[in-house]
Chain A
Amino acid sequence: MALTGLEIYKQLPKKNCGECGVPTCLAFAMALASGKAALDACPYVTEAAREALDSASAPPIKAIKFGKDSVLGDETVLFRHDKTFYHPTTLLIYVSDTLSDEELSAKLQEIKGLEFERVGLQYTIDGVAIVNDSNDAARFAKVAATVAESTDISLLLLSDNPEAVKAALAPLVARKPLIGAATADNYEAMVNLAKENSVPVIIKADGLDALNDLVEKAVALGYKEFVLDPGSRKTVETLANLTHLRRLAIKKKFRPFGYPVIAFTSNTEPLEEIMEATVYVAKYASAVVLKTSVKAHVLPLMTLRQNIYTDPQKPIQVEPTLHSVGNVNENSPLYITTNFSLTYYSVEGEVETSKIPSYILPIDTDGTSVLTAYAAGKFEPEKIAEAMVACGIADKVKHRNVIIPGYVAVISGKLAEVSGWKVVVGPRESSGIVSFSKSLS
């Protein structure tokens, strides 16, 4: 985030000596703001000011990477419609080291099952949070090793005891786990442990004032790979803290809060826990630790995450090639739609429900819906006829009937003329496909 000239000016020595090549400090500040000068040209700028100005040019929220491709932070807006949210919330499953070996193995099996496929998208769980509830360093290290052996997803090692974290971390450094939590009592040992092993560390304090103090102390140890935990565990307080942290980082460039934030759920009933987690996913948590690992619970949460983090300017698209549903044969009907993922999967879902094996040809409309594409001239009869030829449908079916969406009935004459096929006008809404399909034979 670039600084304004006035903000830079406040940090300058205000000697107006001209040694930087610009007559006044204010003019030099303006030159810096527009990128026409470098701070090095001023011989009198203090170290503190240099640091302030350097970090001000850094992104408002630092990107923190750990584990298997987990990226936290690096966000720039408060509302997704302003640009987009970039890094989907990392979801971690809570695994306590008080579990017996059998319970642990069952939990790991359940976690491994957290891979989903829906509407052509793959969702997978990101990681496991191993928590030292036993207060036994040896047990913690053993459970961490067992989890690490069972899965290659990201790891979070969580204990108030730096010795326990050290023991668990030593054999797993290559996996680059996130560790924590550094608190007012243990931060020196915890942050130094993170620094020595080049892993990111959670900074946890009770409330934003205390968090600010602790981050400053931790930074003074010469390390900056942080993830913040403001300590709140009630939904409404965590929502407020997540909002404050994101706003201060982005709107005020407040450096102590320029790190991603992790949230922990507190509801013990699993469905209530998922509801709580939806709030944190929508409102700025970079990572959320969940206790439930039941498929039916995690799928809705992952779906919401995928929806919220979709780039509003880039609709999700499907391959504009011939798709088939069921065991298609030479009598299978042919449906035309667009390659906007939502449109395509609405059609595919209904065609599947109709139980009639069918072909669906999504036309490349740059991922726009039927009416949007038609209004923009991207759903023209010529283009559809070309796509029909290109996909070779004529060799796959013996009939010559093509079904178009009801909303574009107006193109049926022209499409019949340019394609030579008989055009059947389907229902307007895909929900009408099931009853429509019965009339086909």
Chain B
Amino acid sequence: MPVTLVKERYSSKVGEVVLGATPEQGGTRTATVTVGGDSALPFLHFEGQTINRPVIAMEVTDVVPTWSDIITKQIGDVINDPAAWAKKCVDEFGADLIYLKFNGADPEGENRSPEDCARIVKEVLAAVGVPLVVEGCDDSAKNNEVITAIAEAATGENLLIGIAEQDNYKSIAAAAMVHKHTLIARSPLDINICKQLNILINEMGLPLNKIIIDPTVAGLGFGIEYVYSIMERARLGALANDKMLSMPIICTVGYEANRCKEAYASEEEFPGWGNLEDRGVLWEAVTASGVLQVGASILVMRNPAAVKLVQKNIADLMG
């Protein structure tokens, strides 16, 4: 006997956000990338459409990062040159976006100037045709200076810039508005702050389709279940027409997963955990898989081997 399946009818869907701009749109990207737009829970194609598959942004830093050898050896010599590194990510590793992080701007570190950062953004823009995600350093005052300079230098490119936080969002939101970029709104694993921050930014005049949520992910084994449930609730909220939770979500998977000891500790040190090479790849890839199941739209990743696995997983899930 045929079974009557339960198909949910949702009143709304996740908002669509376009990243990048082609020459006709005032930018220089070869194509734009659209994220969001889902009208059902992730990958449930029987009751709604997943118009845009989740995309992967690969991380490129302005200074040589102190990542595990397993990752840096795959990147190779280009690790000294952000533009060449970004190009390799797109051409060889199949990155949909480049995530450019200016650790070198940190006043505690190299204290790179905003002009210098803007120059590097221009170089990366010239090297690749995909849209860019750009974040400054962890010092919020300096981050504002750096991002303001970058936003101005890349006017019209529709970068995805970050990070706006609850106690520091005004100058970066203004930079996004004036120079026509899209903004990352980050909240510390708290759906109420997430929603509140979106309201505050929207009240400044930035449209909802220019905002991307960063819920602050946690790595596998270190609290991923918290962000898992927060994202699941945000998706259910978006489908139930909560406009302030309807933005697509970005997850900094590479940063969080590779902070976990399981992703970098050697087999000699922890024989019980097995071979590091596969373990490190899976630690990042499984973290990504976890957030994909609850609606991540943009995954920021590091390990090229993990990127490849996640690309396959997304292809399997898109059917």
**Which A residues lie at the B interface, using CB under 8 A?**
79-81, 115-119, 208-209, 212-213, 216, 234-237, 239-240, 243-244, 247-248, 251-252, 254, 257, 267, 270-272, 274-276, 278-279, 282-283, 294-297, 299-301, 303-304, 306-308, 310, 312, 342, 345-346, 349, 431
CB of B122 within 8 A of chain A?
A: no
**Which B residues lie at the A interface, using CB under 8 A?**
1-3, 5-6, 41, 43-46, 220-225, 228-229, 232-233, 236, 259, 261-262, 272-279, 281-283, 285-286, 289-290, 293, 309-310, 312-313, 316-319
Contact A307–B232 (Cβ < 8 Å): no
- Chain A residue with Cβ nearest B236: A79
Distance from B32 Cβ to chain A, minimum over Cβ atoms (Å): 26
Distance from B124 Cβ to chain A, minimum over Cβ atoms (Å): 28
Contact B319–A236 (Cβ < 8 Å): yes
Among B221, B229, B317, B319: residue with most chain A CB under 10 A: B221
| Chain B positions within 8 Å of A115 at CB level | 272
Distance from B112 Cβ to chain A, minimum over Cβ atoms (Å): 21
| Chain A positions within 8 Å of B261 at CB level | 349
5 contacts across the A-B interface (CB closer than 8 A): A236-B316, A272-B313, A275-B310, A294-B275, A294-B278
| Chain A positions within 8 Å of B222 at CB level | 342, 345-346
A-B contact count (CB 8 A): 154
Contact A271–B221 (Cβ < 8 Å): no
Among A79, A117, A296: residue with most chain B CB under 10 A: A296
A interface: dominant SS: helix
Contact B44–A300 (Cβ < 8 Å): no
Neighbour of A236 across the interface among B3, B43, B221, CB < 8 A: B43
Contact B220–A300 (Cβ < 8 Å): yes
In the bound assembly, the distance between CA atoms of A234 and B272 in angstroms comes to 32
In the bound assembly, the distance between CA atoms of A216 and B45 in angstroms comes to 28
Distance from B228 Cβ to chain A, minimum over Cβ atoms (Å): 7
Contact B312–A296 (Cβ < 8 Å): no
Contact B224–A307 (Cβ < 8 Å): yes
| Chain B positions within 8 Å of A239 at CB level | 43-44, 317
Contact B286–A301 (Cβ < 8 Å): yes
Contact A234–B316 (Cβ < 8 Å): yes
Distance from A83 Cβ to chain B, minimum over Cβ atoms (Å): 12
In the bound assembly, the distance between CA atoms of A432 and B204 in angstroms comes to 36
In the bound assembly, the distance between CA atoms of A235 and B318 in angstroms comes to 9
In the bound assembly, the distance between CA atoms of A300 and B224 in angstroms comes to 12
Neighbour of B273 across the interface among A80, A81, A118, A254, CB < 8 A: A118
Given contact pairs A209-B2, A307-B220, A342-B223, A81 touches B286 in the complex (Cβ within 8 A) = no
